[in-house]
C-alpha cells in the first residue's frame, strides 16, 4: 500500500480521509486502488477528466508502468491521452465503433498526411512561393492562403521528398522571404474528426 501511495505521490496524505482529498488526489487514489493487487485487467472511465496536469501525468506514468502485467481498457475524451496510452485505439461514434487500430494505422487510414505551414515576410511574393512549393512537390493542395500565412496539405509524401522540399525552401528562404517553416503530421484529433 505504501508503494502505491508513493507511486501516486499521495504518501504525505496517507492519514487524510478520501473525502477530504482534492478531486485530483481522489482520482489518483482511485487509480492506485484499482491497480493495488496487480490485476490482469483494469477498466478506467475517463480517469484523468477534470484533473490537474501533474496528477494526469502521474496517472499516465502508473498506467504505462503497469501495462506489461495489466490489460487496460480506458475511455477518454482526450486524443492525446489515447495516443500516449493506447496500443490500440477504438473510436466510438453514435454508440458504434467506427474504427480501431494503432495510432499509426488510424493516421494512415483516416489522416491526411503532412501539412506545411509557412509564415511569410510582409513584402513577400506569395505567388512565387506557392509556385516554388507546387513545382518541387507536385500534387500538393493549398489549404489556406492569407496575408502572411500559407498552408499546404502534402499528403503522404515520402520522407525523402519532405526532406528535399524543406532543404530547398531553406536554401531559398531569404530570396523567397519565408520567415518560418513548420511541418506536421495528421494528428489523432484530425482522425477523430474524419472518422466520426
pLDDT-derived band at 192 (thresholds 50, 70, 90) equals confident
Least trusted range by pLDDT, from 6-10, 78-82, 186-190: 186-190
What integer pLDDT is reported at residue 35 of this predicted model? 94
Is residue 138 in some structural domain? yes
Average pLDDT over residues 155-178: 90
Give the domain range for residue 162. Answer: 111-195
13 plus 83 within the same structural domain: yes
Of 84, 115, 116, 112, nearest in space to 192 by CA = 112
pLDDT over 80 (residue 85): yes
Domain assignment present for 83: yes
- Whether the predicted pLDDT of 33 surpasses 80: yes
10 with 79, same domain? yes
Same domain, yes or no, for 119 and 175? Answer: yes
Helix (H/G/I), strand (E/B), else coil: 55: helix
**What's phi and psi for 86, nearest 5 deg?**
-90, 125
Residue with cell 509556385: 131
Whether 65 is covered by a domain: the verdict is yes
Question: What is the chain's mean pLDDT, rounded?
Answer: 91
**Same-domain check for residues 67 and 121:** no
Q: Are residues 83 and 139 in the same domain?
A: no
Q: Domain for residue 75, yes or no? A: yes
pTM of the model: 0.69
DSSP state of 48: T
CATH number of the structural domain spanning residue 186: 3.30.70.260
Say if 36 falls within a structural domain: yes
- pLDDT confidence band for 196 (50 / 70 / 90): low
pLDDT at 195 over 80: no
Both 151 and 77 in one domain: the answer is no
CATH of the domain at 47: 3.40.50.300
Q: Cell triple for residue 188?
A: 489523432
Mean pLDDT of 150-161: 87
Q: Do 122 and 182 fall within a single domain?
A: yes
168 — pLDDT class (breaks 50, 70, 90): very high
Quick: pLDDT tens for 123-136: 889 899 999 999 99
The rounded distance, in Å, linking the Cα atoms of 85 and 70 is 13
**Domain for residue 101, yes or no?**
no
Evaluate if residue 182 carries a pLDDT over 70.
yes
Question: How many Cα neighbours within 13 Å face the side chain of 28?
Answer: 27
Domain count, the chain: 2
Same domain, 72 and 115: no
> What is the model's pLDDT at position 63?
95
Average pLDDT over residues 37-63: 95
Residue 100 falls within a domain, yes or no? Answer: no
Residue 60: inside a domain: yes
Amino acid at each position: 500500500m505504501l508503494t502505491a501511495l508513493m507511486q501516486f505521490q499521495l504518501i504525505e496524505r496517507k492519514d487524510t480521509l478520501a473525502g477530504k482529498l482534492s478531486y485530483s488526489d481522489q482520482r489518483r487514489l482511485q487509480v492506485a486502488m484499482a491497480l493495488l493487487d496487480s490485476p490482469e485487467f483494469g477498466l478506467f472511465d475517463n480517469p484523468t477528466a477534470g484533473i490537474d496536469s501533474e496528477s494526469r501525468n502521474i496517472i499516465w506514468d502508473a498506467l504505462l508502468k503497469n501495462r506489461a502485467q495489466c490489460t487496460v481498457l480506458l475511455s477518454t475524451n482526450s486524443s492525446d491521452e489515447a495516443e500516449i496510452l493506447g496500443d490500440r485505439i477504438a473510436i466510438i461514434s453514435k454508440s458504434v465503433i467506427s474504427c480501431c487500430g494503432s495510432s499509426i494505422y488510424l493516421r494512415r487510414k483516416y489522416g491526411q498526411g503532412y501539412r506545411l505551414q509557412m509564415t511569410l515576410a510582409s513584402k513577400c511574393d506569395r505567388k512565387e512561393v506557392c509556385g516554388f512549393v507546387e513545382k518541387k512537390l507536385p500534387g500538393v493542395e493549398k489549404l489556406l492562403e492569407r496575408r502572411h500565412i500559407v498552408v499546404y496539405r502534402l499528403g503522404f509524401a515520402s520522407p525523402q521528398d519532405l526532406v528535399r522540399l524543406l532543404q530547398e525552401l531553406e536554401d531559398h528562404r531569404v530570396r523567397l522571404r519565408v520567415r518560418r517553416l513548420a511541418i506536421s503530421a495528421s494528428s489523432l484529433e484530425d482522425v477523430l474528426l474524419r472518422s466520426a
